[in-house]
Amino acid sequence: MSTAARRLAAVAAAALLGSVLAPGAATAAIPDYTTAEAGNPIVDGWYADPDVAVYNNTFWVYPTTSKGYSEQTYLDAFSSTDLVNWTRHPNVLTKANVSWASSAMWAPAPIQRNGRYYLYFAANDIQNNSALGGIGVAVADNPAGPYRDAIGRPLIGQFYNGAQPIDQDVFIDDDGQAYIYYGGWSHANVAKLNADMTSLGTFSDGSTFKEITPSGYVEGPQMFKRNGKYYLMWSEGGWTGPDYSVSYAMSNSPTGPFTKLDKVLTQDPTVAKGSGHNSVINVPGTDTWYILYHRRPLAETDGNHRQLAYDRMTFNADGTIQRITMRVKDNFADNNALGWKTYGGAWSTSGGRYVAGNSLGGKAQLDTNFGDFSYDADVTVTSGGGDAGLTFRVSNAASGTDSYNGYYAGISPAGRVVLGRAANNWASLGTANLTVTAGTSYHLRVTAIGSSIKVYVDDLTNPKISVTDGTFAAGSDGVRVFNAAATFDNVVVGAPVGAGVNVAQGRPATGSAACAASEGPEKAVNGSVSGGNSDKFCSSVAGAWLQVDLGSTRSISRFELAHAQAGGEAASMNTKAFTISVSNDGTTWTQAVNVTANTAATTTHTVSGVSGRYVRLNVGTPTQTTEVATRIYELRVFS
């Protein structure tokens, strides 16, 4: 959450949240997830700009109601003791309780002090100093409100240092001093709040507002403190566009200076777009952190169609934040199926599972667009003689047995695994014999990389079906039944995994200056070795290097390098001396491989205890001769 220090005080410095979240439930688990394990979005409805507080051992989320400005006349809240099950509290603040507010009530920021609950908000979207509006403060005796205007006027109702008075966040430091951070129109200010939390103080130089705008800043500042360091996060890009994103800075002072370090959350064209305006959740008594933000589903074009989501936030040893991955999971522990869209059949949630009644082809799809991936789920056929399983690379979904373009892999109590392709008709791609017992759960995995499709059932090492079919390259993921009823659980979709998966393939690659434009670093991660200048990374720079971003930190079992001879060139051109290093942040590196006298065309380097997000090849001696050009046809990394 933004303002971690003051919000931890709200739980009276509880040692472990697991022992205090619910009275009488001392064994409750501490929320320790890789993402929203029960699925993003976390709540139903269009919401944006979430902020978080921990009150009375409960997480409280206060978002903007994402509608047209004239309809933004109220604020809802959501509460949870476990970050899984959420209760909606409607109308915690309405314009009826703020005499000067008429519309555009935005970005509530909650805080507790002196036994009272404060909610800071923006209203009226003022465009100049002649308009009435800006940042207000409301107060209540209960986290669920009702909140009422505390001072009868805006707390900040003018432009200072060019900052539009919107998007406020409030932080109380360890010494008790409270600060308010705010600003739109690409300017950010900080001011002191007095102990009454309803008036502004001054800095030692007599000023009330200090500009702290970092590079790239647009709006949505959020402040938190960890291990003595102050973190300022903010949003960049346009709020209706796919480029909306989150960057951050660190400082030794709550007033900066704040120098941008990195953009840590951006859209993912496989998962969601327009990700931004965040806050941060710290589970009290732990070093477990999440980024809470809004994002827009891939299929939505309305700028106000935004939803609340959270993902794990991880820190490097030096305190910097690792880039955040939007993960796709749903274990249905909240007994809802938010984010799923059904096409035919009967669908419900019960007992922490997604339940499909018997139908001839009922489907439920996520709004994803994965091309290369591994898709895992637990599938139980409960009745019927047909099959149930996973759909993937789907487009044009509609009600009807084979009314979609894409693939399907399923299991049947008739004793088989099936894989096929649909395009308003059915084409079988493969079958395998397998004993399937109705009422028994089976773990299905589909791994698709390019035209290679593999289907696994329980045994995740040896595929039951392995085929080549490149008809459909990307699309949504879902579940399906055919002449059967079934339940689904523990859905996970992400980057390809498995001993035989090259996790570097197709990932962003950089390197030293290439010999020619057609010989750039991307050629070393394209998954092929075809020979000639068309399919290699070549660099004549002394100390040539090649780096690939795996997208997230991965455990690594081996590296492979295809050198010059693998692409059809002379053996004398094989790389002679090189190292391979890994890094979690792209700055601090750990050497994993050191080769001084290679002559082989392809080299394999098995490692243990190695992990990282970034892999870097550094070349010492490029060839077996005096030739200075490094030639790498493929860098493969296996997780």
Q: Determine the 3-state secondary structure of 462 from DSSP.
A: coil
207's CB contacts (< 8 A; 6+ apart) are none
Q: Is 219 a catalytic residue?
A: yes
CA distance 388 to 234: 44
CA distance 398 to 132: 49
Contact 170, 120 (CB under 8 A): yes
Q: Determine the 3-state secondary structure of 333 from DSSP.
A: coil
Residue with tokens 């295809």: 562
Residue with tokens 């750990």: 590
Considering just the CA atoms, what is the radius of gyration of the chain in Å?
27
Q: Is 543 left (phi over 0), alpha (psi -120 to 50) or beta?
A: left
Q: Determine the 3-state secondary structure of 10 from DSSP.
A: helix
CA distance 616 to 589: 9
DSSP H/E element including 7: helix 4-8
Contact 297, 307 (CB under 8 A): yes
Q: Is 71 a catalytic residue?
A: no
Q: Looking at 51, 125, 219, 367, which residue is catalytic?
A: 219
Q: Looking at 49, 51, 82, 367, which residue is catalytic?
A: 49
CA distance 371 to 393: 7
Q: Determine the 3-state secondary structure of 19 from DSSP.
A: helix
| Three-state SS letters, 205-267 | CCCCCEECCCCCCCEEEEEEEECCEEEEEEEECCCCCCCCEEEEEEECCCCCCCEEEEEEECC
∠ CA(132), CA(135), CA(138), 5° rounding?
110
275-287 as b/e, with b when 16 or more CB fall inside 10 Å? Answer: bbbbbbbbbbbee
Q: What is the DSSP letter of 164?
A: B
Active site amino acids: 49, 219
